[in-house]
Structure formats: C-alpha cells, structure tokens
Chains A and B, each alone.
Chain A
Amino acid sequence: MEIRPILSALMRSKVSMILIGLQVALTLAIVCNALFIIGERLDRMHRPSGMNEADTFWFGSNGFGANFDAIATQQADLAVLRSMPGVTAATSTNSVPMSGGGWGEGLSLQPGQKTSTAQTTFYIVGPQALEAYGFKLIAGRDFRPEEFTAIKFGDQPHPQSVIVSKALADKLFPDSSAIGKQVYSEDKPTTIVGVIERAQQPWMDSDSIEYSTLLPMYMPYGNSTRYLVHAEPGRRDEVMKAVEQKMIEANPSRIIGKVKSIADVRRDAYAEDRAMAIILGVVIIALLAITALGIVGMASFWVAQRTKQIGTRRALGATKFDILRYFQTENFIITTLGLIAGGVLAYGLSLWLMRQYQSPRLPWYYVPVGFIALWILGQLAVLGPALRASRVPPAVATRNV
C-alpha cells in the first residue's frame, strides 16, 4: 500500500484534507457525546418504578361545600371503586412514583439525630395499597385493617407501622432484616412491618429515589384526595371512562379531575428526556449525512481534478482496482487524521460537559467505536467517486487538453 506517497501528496495541498478532516473530527466529537447522552437518557427512562404501570390509573377528587366530610367520603369512595366491574384493587393515596410531587421526610435510627439517616417519601395510603400499586412484598406482611388511622392534613402523621422499600431497608439496616425494627420520624418511633422489592419516589431527580415508605392512614388534603385504581388486564381504559360518572353519582358535591393512567404519568415524567434523545438522534443522523455528502462531494471534485493523473497511472500499469484502492486509501488517511483530532475533541467536550453540567465521564469505548463507524462511513462515501475514478480510461493520458 502506498501510504507514504499519498500522505506526502496530501501534505502538499492541505486545504481539502483539512476541510474533510475537520468535518470528521467535529462529527466524531459530537456524535460520541450525543450518543452517550442518549444512552443515559434511555437508561433513565427505563428505570422501573416498582409499581404496575400497565393496568393502573389515578385521579383526584376535590370536594366543596361547608359540610364536606373528606374522610368519610374517602372510605365510601373506596368501597364504590372496589365494587366497580373490572377493578381488582383501589386505594387512597397522596402520590405515585414519577408524578413529580409528594411528601418528603427524613427517617432516623435514633431520636434526636441532628441529620436524618435517610431521606424518604411518604406514600400515605389506604387499605389494598400493595395490590393497587402492584408492589411486591418480599419480607414481613401487609398492613392490618386495625393499623389504619385517620388524621387531618397538616397534622404530623405518626403511624405505628410502616412498609419500606428494600433499598431503604438496606440503607437503614444493612446487616440485618428490617422487619420489626424501629425508625424515627420527627423523633417519634414507628415499626417496619414489611419490605417491598422496589418503590420509586415521585421526584425523577432525587438522589434517594429508591427510598420510599408507605404509611397506613386516611389523610385527605383539605377536601381533596387522590385514588389509585388497579384494573383487570385490558380493562383499564374502560374503567377510566366510567370512574368519573360513578364518583359523581356516589357524591355529587365534588369535582373529579386529572384521571390519568400511570403509563401516561411515566410518559409525561420522562417527556423531556425523550425529547432530548429524539433531538440528539436527529442531529446525529443529520451530521453523519452531511459529513458523508461532504466526502462524496470533495472526492468527486478531486477525481475530476486529477483525471489526467489517473489516466497516467493507468498508462503506467495501474489496474482499475489499484486506482480504486488509491482513493480509498487516501480517504482512509484523511479520515484517520480527522478522527485522531476528533478523539481529542470528543474527550475535551466530555470534560467540559462534566464540568458545566456534572454529567458522567464518557466511557472509553465510545471513541473507538465511533472511529470504526466513521471509517466505514468514509469508505462507503468515497466508494462512488473512487469507482468513477477507476473507470477513467488510460487513453486520457495521451490526450492533450
């Protein structure tokens, strides 16, 4: 392979080489980092919430009127919901994972701790919570009916028992079972009676997103409350359509709103991440297309400029394949130089992103994979012009223009 003469010829007229090399370098730097971000976002979007998302929905009830008894309504509503056809479980609650809003609280191992041991969220739930959410109990037991109490919103909840997520249990009691142990919230003790496999907090960006706590209480928010309904597989939409009517029938002195499936809650929660991934994806494709077209354009131009030279080489004994290989090699060299610069740029860009936005470091394998991809892209792009070059007839050498 004639790398040295090709390289030395390129060095003589650096401009065109720089133009392609620069495009390749920028493309590599951007594509590597963009792909990494897309990967991160996709990972984020696929985080399991721990609850059933296919068959569940939730909605809010906002009562009015001076005599509205929120707690009695809550209990009556749950009975109505559970009696509806297609419903397997229903519970009252203040929040669900991925919804963006909820109750944040600190839990401590001892009373009087200056800073809490773990930051958790309180899911303040009625009976059938585990079935309604679809949480998987892996230790201990569900709440018993007598453990449920009722309080007015604004009063501090102090239940006797709570159920926690496994991650929280491991954080609080790493070396032993959490069942039966006591934890303190606002310096008041409560006992862990059950552990569920996984339950995310409502806040997507929480550092402690896997630490969740279920409290067995009826606690409406003034006259408002929310309900989570688990339907039979395939019947969720049917129940969603019927629920408002049913609730108004049961008690007309309220407004039913925000009937939303948990699947939609997830979709909205991750809408920005999905948008970012789509936008980055489009840019990556556009960049690769532009760079490829640029290579095709420049290579075609060079072939046209060097027709005489190609004819001469053929006259001197080069086969068509030799000519093809010449241009593919030339492109390979230019691409390689561009990629080396691009690799440096890619790491530089990654470092800058790390510093500006505290994003994680670009994993080492992105750049090498990007190298290979762009090598292939470059070789494919130059194939057309190179084939055309190989078809330049040797007789061109003797033409005198």
Chain B
Amino acid sequence: MFAYYLQLGLRSLKRNPILTALMVAGIALGIAASMTTLTVLHLMGADPIPWKSDKLHYVQLDNWSPDQPYSEDGRPPDQVTYQDAVALMKAARADKQAAMFKIVQPVQPENKELKPFSSLIRATGSDFFGMFEPKFKYGAAWNHDQDDSHARVVVLGDEINEKLFGGQDSTGRSVRLNGIDYRIVGVLDKWNLRSRYYDLTNGAFADPDEMFMPFTTAIDLKTRSSGNNSCWKSSANGWDAYLTSDCVWMQMWVQLDSPQKLAAYREFLDNYVNEQKKLGRFPRPLNNRLLDVNEWMRDQKVVTRDMEVQTGLAFAFLAVCLVNTIGLLLAKFTRKSGEIGLRRALGASRREVFTQFLVESGVVGLTGGVIGLVLTGLGLVAVRALYAQYKTVAHLDWTMVATTIALAIAAALLAGLYPTWRACRVQPAAQLKV
C-alpha cells in the first residue's frame, strides 16, 4: 500500500508542476536557511573534546583593583598573572596542569630558499599535550625536567613541519628562532581543531598555533606575550618587575579527573588566594572560577549573538514557509474532493485516504529536503565566503545531512496534517453528484 501511495503521490505532484514547484521551493528554502545556520551554530558550540570536556577546567582568579571590578558583571579577569600561574604549576595539585601564553618568533629556516618568516608559538607546559590530546606523528612532547630546565626544545605543528622539512621526521633536528637553535622533540599530526578553545582570549577562530615550546624557556628568554595584556596598576620598569606585577597575560588550564578532585582543587584555590591576601595581594573579595570547557566556551560567547540571531531568524523563516505550504497543500487537496469522494465510495476507509495524502505531503517534504540539502551546501559556501574565520565550522557532517532530510519530511508532514484532515472530512455522496 505504501508503494501505491508513493506512486499516487508522485503522479499527483507531476500533474500540477507549478503548484508542486512552489511547495517544494518553499520547503527547500526554509530548510536551507534553517540548516545552514543550525550547522554553523551546532559546530561552533559543539564540544571540542567530548570525552573529557568536563575534566578540563580553566582557572580564573580575581586579583583586580579594589576600586573597580575587571568586568561590570562581576566576572573575574580572563587571564592570570605570571606569579599565580607559576605558583599553581609548582603546587601541582591537579591531575595535570598547563599554564600558557602565545608568542611570535621569527623563524630562520635552514633551507636558504625559504625566506625567514614569523611564527605563532604557544609557550606552555608539557602537560598540555596530555590534557588536550593532539596526536603525534613523530616523537613526543618534552618532559617535566625539560620544563624545569627551560630546555631549548620545540614541538612542531604538522603544517610548519611540511614547510620546513617537507613533512619528514624532523625529530632530533633543530630549528632556529630569533638566533637561537631549538631541538625538535616531536611533530604533531594534523590537528583538526574547529576552534582554538584552549585560548579564547584573542578570538575563538584566530590563527592556530604553529609550534609549541616550554613556557619556562620563553620566560627565560624574556619573550613578551603577543596576546592580551591587562594591568590595573602599572608595574615598575623592567622585566622582573613585570613578572611580579598584577598584570594578567597568561592562561591556566587544569585537568581534574573526578568530582572529588574538582572539589579539592576549588578548596586549594581558595586557600591559595587567602594566603596571598595575607601578603597584601588580591584586594577584592574571593571570586575564583573553574569553568569546564563547554562552560568556558559559553562564557566567552564562542557562539556569537549574531549567529544566535541568525539561527532564530532562519527558523522563523521556516515557520513562514511552513504556513505557506499549508495554504498550498490546502488548495491542492481541496481540489481533489471529487477524487476523495470517489475513493471513499469505492471502499477506501477514512484512514486510508488520510494516509494517502499524508504520504503525498511526505513526498513533497522529501523532494524539498533533497533540494534544501543542496541549497544548504550553497549556503555554507556563502557563510565561508562572508565569515572567513568560520572556515572550520561551516561544513555539513552526516548528522546534519540526516537532520536536514528528517526536518524537511517532518515539516511537510506537519504542514500536511490540517489540509489532509480537511480533505478527508468530505462526504462521499456530496462529491459524486453528476
């Protein structure tokens, strides 16, 4: 029977191509708009590390001015001071911990054919790799001893290894940054990060890090952060004064493998700040935060309000398209009352007629969904063109494809309910008068 209804539905749609085209177009457009925005929204806000996003926490301490909060809504600063980062690293009270900041260094390639170029480097601790789990292609991260001894070592990203060494195993070789040679201890495999979620302070979709080195090494070389730097009172002149100042320019992540560990770490942080208060720092009331990955992404509005507005708008648009489709289906099915009366007279039950027309609606939905899928693909191309930085999140994955088709069919069925019900209320006799 279902195949029969399918046949009938397709034939009926072919018989009135303009009306069918209008209905399909309406659904396709509405679906395309909704799915384009939903895809971007879904990927932007998606958990980047779902198997442990609730274990990784971002440390925030409120060392800000007693006269003025860092942020009007009472949130603590989004970075920590050097002193505090180092103290927390030394205390090592989490399962893993990594302080970090970003620097820019000139790379002087061995290969004289290549011009020197600037490179974005993440200065961080060796735990970073265990925490955020990038895959290694060659070698491994440096170890804690190398952290402590501010060794001149680096881990290369996949792309820069391609550029400098043609993608070969370059472990053991060296790369010269700003006149100093660093030994390559590891090379990462392609790391498909949608957003650089471990450092949201310069924008979630900013350029990715090209290499990694121990932050102790960067400090040893007196390299300033290329990221944000905020101070509420100026430090005295000089590098050492800068390190002991209350300027915030580092990010601090910890991994806590159980809720008990989380609670214990919270307590540890409170105690730490209270100790520091005794030394005259932290004039503001206690305001520590330990947001996990998803909470932190929401806090930093990775999913921008523009995206939210667009998604809402797209669904409102879909609603209009649906109402439109209801009207068109109503028009179509009402004209069929003769056929319905006939079928009923020939023995079709009300439910059979209902099903037949619901299937016809479903066929409209399926067609609209397929075309909508193509349009969604085009829509995502447009998003990538308009928002260059969203290259990584404007792509269809299989979940979204399935959702598109399902949404289209569901929408069409929903739109078809009322017209179908109306059409089926027809009394057979009234329609059969000659």
Contacts and interface: CB of A to CB of B under 8 A. Distances in A.
A24 to B, nearest CB: 9
Given A62-B106, A64-B108, A255-B106, A275 B317 contact: no
A271 B108 CA distance: 34
Contacts of A27: 320
A366 B414 CA distance: 33
A194 interface: no
Contact of A272 (B234, B306, B314): B306
A65 B177 CA distance: 9
Interface in A284-321: 286-287, 290-291, 293-294, 297-298, 300-301, 304-305
Given A222-B223, A224-B104, A286 B326 contact: no
Nearest to A29: B316
B253 to A, nearest CB: 23
Given A34-B313, A154-B237, A283-B313, A26 B179 contact: no
Interface string A259-281: 00000000000011011101110
B121 interface: no
A286 B106 contact: no
A221 B33 contact: no
A154 B242 contact: yes
Nearest to B239: A154
A358 to B, nearest CB: 9
A186 interface: yes
Contacts of B321: 290
Interface string B417-430: 01000100000000
Contacts of B179: 64-66
A393 to B, nearest CB: 21
Interface residues of B, number: 54
Contacts of A152: 237
B327 A20 contact: yes
Interface string B311-325: 001101101110110
Contacts of A286: 29, 33, 317
B160 interface: no
A34 B326 CA distance: 25
B178 A278 contact: no
B223 A294 contact: no
B341 interface: no
Interface string B177-199: 11100000000000000000000
B305 A357 contact: yes
A276 B306 contact: yes
Interface stretch (B94-102, B146-154, B328-336, B366-374): B328-336
Contact of A357 (B309, B310, B327): B309
B51 interface: no
B26 interface: yes
Contacts of A63: 106
A22 B418 CA distance: 15
A283 B178 contact: no
Given A64-B179, A223-B178, A26 B316 contact: yes
A283 B317 contact: yes
B399 interface: no
B19 interface: yes
B22 A297 contact: yes
Contact of A298 (B67, B309, B310, B327): B327
A222 B104 CA distance: 11
Contacts of B422: 15
B224 interface: yes
Interface residues of A, number: 56
Contacts of A294: 26, 323-324, 327-328
Contact of B323 (A23, A154, A293): A23
Contacts of A64: 105-106, 108, 116, 177-179
Contact of B224 (A154, A280, A301, A304): A154
Contacts of B67: 114-115
Interface string A150-175: 00111110000000000000000000
B305 A155 contact: no
A26 B386 CA distance: 27
B238 A155 contact: yes
Nearest to B116: A255
Contacts of B238: 154-155
A10 interface: no
Contacts of B118: 62, 255, 257
Interface in B75-108: 104-106, 108
Nearest to A60: B118
Given A64-B108, A271-B387, A283 B314 contact: yes
A16 interface: yes
A98 interface: no
Nearest to A18: B323
B388 interface: yes
A283 B330 contact: no
Contacts of B398: none
A254 interface: yes
B68 interface: yes
A294 B27 CA distance: 12
Interface string A16-58: 1001101100110010001001000000000000000000000
A224 B178 CA distance: 12
Q: Give the one of A64, A221, A223, A287 with max B CB within 10 A.
A: A64
A99 to B, nearest CB: 13
B117 interface: yes
Interface in B275-326: 304-306, 309-310, 313-314, 316-317, 319-321, 323-324, 326
A87 B234 CA distance: 37
Interface in B50-92: 67-68
A37 B26 CA distance: 25
A305 B335 CA distance: 8
Contacts of B117: 255, 257
27 contacts: A16-B330, A19-B327, A20-B327, A23-B320, A62-B104, A62-B106, A63-B106, A64-B106, A64-B116, A65-B179, A114-B68, A115-B67, A154-B237, A155-B238, A221-B224, A222-B224, A254-B116, A255-B115, A271-B386, A274-B386, A278-B386, A286-B29, A293-B22, A294-B327, A297-B19, A297-B328, A298-B328
Interface of B: 19, 22, 26, 29, 33, 67-68, 104-106, 108, 115-118, 177-179, 223-224, 230, 233-235, 237-239, 242, 304-306, 309-310, 313-314, 316-317, 319-321, 323-324, 326-328, 330-331, 334-335, 386-388, 418, 422
Given A64-B177, A279-B386, 16 more contacts: A16-B327, A23-B324, A30-B317, A64-B179, A115-B68, A154-B237, A222-B223, A254-B116, A276-B309, A276-B310, A291-B320, A293-B26, A297-B324, A301-B331, A353-B309, A357-B305
